[in-house]
A = this chain, B = another copy of it.
Amino acid sequence: MAGNSIGQLFKVTTFGESHGVALGGVVDGVPAGLTISESDLQIDLDRRKPGQSRYTTQRREGDEVKILSGVFEGKTTGTSIGLLIENTDQRSQDYSQIKEVFRPGHGDYAYWHKYGHRDYRGGGRSSARETAIRVAAGAIAKKYLKDTHGIEIHGCLSQLGPIKAEVFDWSLVETNPFFFPDASKLDALDEYMRDLKKQGDSVGAKVTVVAKGVPVGLGEPVFDRLDAELAHSLMSINAVKGVEIGDGFDVVTQNGSTHRDELTPEGFTSNHAGGILAGISTGQDIIASIALKPTSSITISGKSINIHNEAVDMITKGRHDPCVGIRAVPIAEAMMAITLMDHLLRQRGQNPHVDVPAPPIAATR
């Protein structure tokens, strides 16, 4: 496959560059009869939208999504859904400075060598701007999962640089500009970000996504395990350098006697596994975390080269997020929704005679 599609039965295909005419995509495999409208998609797009707070880029994009097909009289028809977001903030900038230069930490160098011809405006296809369409597609999946199966997906920023959430108060997440679940750390976050901006630097972050109400049995054996496909979809988000399921890298120092989640007639007694065993969902909460690198677009000068292999000094001007992890929260939710949706359809196709039992009592950290 060329690289711009994900999923098997629920499949998302996208196009569009940072400074092109428009972003768009095709969402294929949505069952017929789902009530959906553009405003359902807009909610998540607005959560991802730049310029929402002083902690994110001030680039202003309306990010208004249009549904071009596949929905008739307010309900899906089962045929492919065309999505379109016009790029309204294509400033006629002067790109002469970055046209021939590879920005360190970006895809410029690799794209140049891979393709030999490159849309250098704002990173072109490699810009995180393309994730707007992921969020729109994910919103369709989220609505289907919730409306038909009661599955809910929530994400939050669980760490920003050295500041780590100790408490997961989900009711707090949508009330602060960081999507942060720990009230006691909000002031520290604010202060940290102010300092960072002064320095002209950026910082990494950790985002955690949880899906509640997922039935037992999603995921296929061996290669298409649910965790493997989640790793794929989450790692495909720009700037992600690591993916964890459940306890993640903490398992390296754990013993089997502490890690294994014991079972009782009332359900699991813990959820170190993050809701997935042997690649199949167990009915507990699905828990995944991702590590996002600090954006490389900073105002501190860095060494680089141009296409003629000449040394240059590089300062990235423009409107950039000092911590891309913040706006990654709705993107991570979208990718988890896309993957769960695909596996729900696949499981239903392949094992329909098995009753999907109500999930047992979940013990979630």
Contact = CB atoms under 8 A, between A and B. Distances in A.
B235 A225 contact: yes
Contacts of A114: 32, 78, 216-217, 219, 280, 347, 351, 354
8 contacts: A3-B28, A9-B346, A75-B117, A109-B282, A110-B219, A123-B278, A228-B232, A256-B294
Interface stretch (A46-54, A55-63, A296-304): A296-304
B277 A107 contact: yes
A9 B14 contact: no
A25 interface: yes
Given A235-B245, A252-B205, A310-B265, A26 B29 contact: no
A238 B278 contact: yes
B235 A79 contact: no
Given A3-B225, A69-B17, A117-B32, A251 B259 contact: no
A4 B77 contact: no
A111 interface: yes
A42 to B, nearest CB: 17
Nearest to A216: B113
A249 interface: yes
Interface string A230-247: 111111101011111111
A201 interface: yes
A305 interface: yes
Interface in A62-95: 66, 68-70, 72-73, 75-82, 84
A208 to B, nearest CB: 12
A278 B110 contact: yes
Contacts of A244: 241-242, 249, 291
Interface stretch (A98-106, A165-173, A178-186): A98-106
Given A4-B79, A9-B350, A117-B32, A236 B261 contact: no
A175 interface: no
Task: Name the 7 nearest CB pairs between A and B, nearest first.
Answer: A107-B278, A3-B220, A349-B349, A3-B224, A105-B260, A2-B29, A114-B217
Given A31-B353, A75-B117, A161-B253, 4 more contacts: A15-B70, A32-B351, A241-B247, A242-B245
A338 B228 CA distance: 15
Contacts of A16: 68-69, 82
A352 B113 contact: no
A321 to B, nearest CB: 11
A257 interface: yes
B235 A227 contact: yes
Contacts of A364: none
A201 B255 contact: yes
